[in-house]
Amino acid sequence: MRIAFAGTPPFAAAALTALIQAGHDVSLVLTQPDRPSGRGMKLKPSAVKEVALAHNIPTLTPSTLSVKRQSQQAEEALSALESAGIDVLVVAAYGLILPVRALEAARGIGKSGDIKSINIHGSLLPRWRGAAPVQRAIEAGDAVTGITLMKMEAGLDTGPMIVKSETEITPQDTSATLFERMTAMGAELIVSALAHPETLQWVEQPAEGVTYAEKILKTEAPVDWHQPAEVVARRIRAFNPFPFATAQYKGETIKIRFARAVEGTGRPGEVLCAGRELVIACAEGAIQCTELQRPGKPAMPAAAFVQSTGMQAGDVLQ
């Protein structure tokens, strides 16, 4: 099958790699422009661009697909899509708004021949439409999440659903571990679906159960110790690896990378136990922190962190 692909991060790169390995003819790739990265802030290509270049696939990196904002750049990309002779456009975490011209550029597949673009979305739609579905699912305490292949339309993740795959969210999952599992799921699901394109059908998303996963902001990082421990622990897991939950201690901004809710009573932010274990009180219950990080230092287990900071029971984190 002749495919065009639009995506940017490793989640998308895994799907692109799987499609190539499955023997599909990926004739064009769209991805976001190279970004400054590392201490030297040198320009670094996206994970998707690296895969495309390794397989000699023509790649375009427009900063927008809006002809009103960057007419020449956007027109070049849209014209390339329209002239590529593709059967379907596959999209995964591209990060740019796709206009109707892009969504309608392919010939179309499916039982009715009307599936022209497919999005690999990281939630069980209609729950968690939007930018951060994996993180928001953990933060909300969802028991399950998954991947939805969606027939794309102009709205934000509002298109009809083609197929879903579920996975449990365990108490040990962070966004990092869940992303890793769902990355593999997304790659497997799109390859499985396109193995028999003539059988694909879609159903509209239900009107009930719609939620939106707002983008994760760095301003959300500080822990609110006046929240119940279950809420605090979920946010800590949801914000690993970005932006990491933070707290203030002796003038340092420390990152709390993993914690679980436990029993305990004290003032919000009060250190209840500081030794081999680190337990901090919340408004209801407490959290046991198992991995933390000081500025400029590597991540460390609780006992090493306590020793390095001199933290004691009775101290209060802000």
pLDDT of res. 270: 98
Label the pairing between strands 129-130 and 212-213.
parallel
pLDDT of res. 282: 98
Share of the chain above pLDDT 70, in %: 100
Q: What is the arithmetic mean of pLDDT over 203-219?
A: 96
Q: DSSP letters along the chain, please?
A: -EEEEEE-SHHHHHHHHHHHHTT-EEEEEE-PPPEEETTTTEEE--HHHHHHHHTT--EE--S---TTTSHHHHHHHHHHHHHS--SEEEEES--SPPPHHHHT-S--BSTTS-B-EEEEESSSTTTTEES-HHHHHHHHT-SEEEEEEEE--SSSS-SPEEEEEEEE--TT--HHHHHHHHHHHHHHHHHHHHTSGGG---BPPPSTT--EEPPP-GGG-B--TTSBHHHHHHHHHHTTTTT-EEEEETTEEEEEEEEEEE---SSTTBEEEESSSEEEE-SBSEEEEEEEE-TTS--EEHHHHHHHHT--TT-B--
pLDDT of res. 278: 98
Q: What is the arithmetic mean of pLDDT over 289-304?
A: 97
CA 314/CA 56 separation, integer angstroms: 60
Q: Tell me: the pLDDT tens digits for 90-119?
A: 999 999 999 999 999 999 999 999 999 999
Residue 245 reports pLDDT greater than 80: yes
pTM value surpassing 0.85: yes
Q: Tell me: the pLDDT tens digits for 31-88?
A: 999 998 877 788 899 999 999 999 999 999 999 998 877 788 899 999 999 999 999 9
Residue 295 reports pLDDT greater than 80: yes
Share of the chain above pLDDT 90, in %: 94
Find out whether 8 and 93 touch, Cβ atoms under 8 Å. yes
Residue 140 reports pLDDT greater than 90: yes
Domain ranges of the chain: 2-213, 218-309
pLDDT of res. 1: 95
Residue 237 reports pLDDT greater than 80: yes
pLDDT of res. 38: 76
pLDDT of res. 264: 97
Q: Tell me: the pLDDT tens digits for 151-184?
A: 999 888 999 999 999 999 999 999 999 999 999 9
Residue 2 reports pLDDT greater than 90: yes
When pLDDT is cut at 50, 70 and 90, the band that residue 8 belongs to is very high
pLDDT of res. 55: 98
pLDDT of res. 105: 97
- CATH fold for the domain made of 218-309: Methionyl-tRNA Fmet Formyltransferase; Chain A, domain 2 (3.10.25)
What CATH code would you report for 2-213?
3.40.50.170
Q: What is the arithmetic mean of pLDDT over 281-301?
A: 98
